[in-house]
Structure 1
Amino acid sequence: MVKRAIALVLILFMVSSLTLPLSAAQEETPKYDLIIVRNDDLIDYIVAWPYAKMLGVPILPVDPKELDPGTLAQLQSYAQFGWSHVLIIGDSQAVSNEVQDELLNIGFVVERIGGAVRTETAAKLALHFYPNGAETVVVASSSDYGSALAAARWAMNYGDPLLLTQEDALSDSTANAIQKLNPDLVILIGAGMSKDVQKKIESLGYETYWVKENIEITVPKPEEGTNWVMVIAAVMLSLAVAVPVSLYYAKKRWAANKVPIEVLTEKERIVVRAILERGGIVKQEELPELTGYSRPTISRIIQELEKKELVTREKVGKTFIVKLTKEIVIRD
């Protein structure tokens, strides 16, 4: 009897050890299969972008009032694929309850995250997807589409939550979200925001870094019969070219004493890390051995870092002493 009990315990232990990893994997499965946004305002698509990347799911822009036959057929095919969970971004003014009812009739499990205004929607999404907070938060103007998309790209690339705010003052919902996320650093993107936004964030006790390059985009006004899927595709294509260029030049502006290492090029990061390992000051002649780069390459990189006012060089004998002049923020 005792042997049987011991055998049963061992079997249960083996089964539990096999099923625990499976359960953990299931918990990591994306909660949603599809994100729905309105098709007549690009901002909701922009806000959804980082979270779609996080989940590995597509974004489907739809008519805010009702689903047209083509979209219905598309959604029905998704349901046949086994997709079951849909996230609607925006309140009932953004995507109507009629659209939600149609999704339910198809058989989807539907969840809606949205606020009365776009800043509130962005805040709710950030808190929903980052319930345990975040080390870095990205903030952009809710009315500057170019800067918002640049911020979304940053958030997507580095896995940071995206928040929007009014241009002239920090929105209450944004301030509350920042406090709940409790980041080490708040990155502001775009030149359109007032300095009061930055001052308010800093008054809450958070460090900021501002990428102030102005990023402009003209969003077409809706016309009768406009194919919004094509409009959004065209705008996103143009932004795919414009945003990287804008961010490249934005990286050349250094208005703060603390600089996130992400805004440096890969080679610059390697050199900066090598300098940091030596306590922030190093002989230039030692950098080739520390980094694996040639002397001419090191010389070019140091010159670029000097232009960005990140390092200074002082001639000592036959070599230069390279010293960091700003604090580099590195996230583990």
Structure 2
Amino acid sequence: LGVVNDPTLNRDSCGSALIGGRVLWTCRDTQTVDSSGVNALPIISTTASWTDLNAQGQPSLSGNTYSMYGSNNLQSTFYPLQADECNGNTAGSCSDNTRYAIWPDSSPLVTDTAADGTVTAYTWIRNDHIKADLSDLTPDCVSSLYKVVYSTSAGHDALPTVTLVNENFWTASEQLPYGAYGGFVADGTAYLYGKGSSGTVGLAKVPVGSIENKSAYQFYVNGGWTSMAPSLGASGVNIPNVSAGGQGTYYYSPPWNSYVWIGQPGLSVSADFFITTSPNPEGPWTQPTKFYSGANGNATLGAYTLQAH
């Protein structure tokens, strides 16, 4: 359809969610663009923007551009860095040349739209502590839970407010980062997928009104639901074919009467899109199938994190 763009910002990996009749985009590393079109420092690890929909609920394009807007405070990050995440700068860069890459892997999960239009959503983000070569110092790290609230009383360009619910919601090397890999809401229940460094993808569920209460979660283990969170390496947790291994998007398709995952295979750098479907959140999921190959870019990495591009 077109290019999603804010000409004043250079952004990496933006995911989207429908909030208040508009589309909210949450993006990873962002730089400002000066008047000559050159990217400028510093790096801001997360920012956000709005785009509009037309009366038919379709993207409101200007030519082939889908224009982003919003009042970003470029002196801080959309998902706030914490004191133990080298938050003396907006990149999370540490003095030992490491970095806390607080990058969302999935879009905010909307759990409630109130009568006055206030929208509540949540995002789980892995607290990746990475080296200069992007390798993880803690592959199965802590995951934080953030609350995102949009109020209709805020100005048109105002972005939702974000608060940290729990920096250690899923503890390091103990549980899968449920929600960070994606999820959806169905019949008042949030279904949340988590992927560990071993490739295991597990599933948790929780009533939408109890997202912040860990004791309300149930976990799919050995073909059934249990209130006891499985350990990171527990057997019977992995759900076969629930993805092709890389980043993607989960949603429910009414025409197909199926749950759907669309995304990429593993750490691919090609624009190959795969799909798998299931009648239930826990499966059985079909064998992931490649359904589309896009044109690769001409940069060092032709394509990556397809869910967010």
Q: What TM-score do you get using the length of structure 1 for normalisation?
A: 0.27
More strand as a share of residues: 2
More helix as a share of residues: 1
Larger Cα-atom Rg:
1
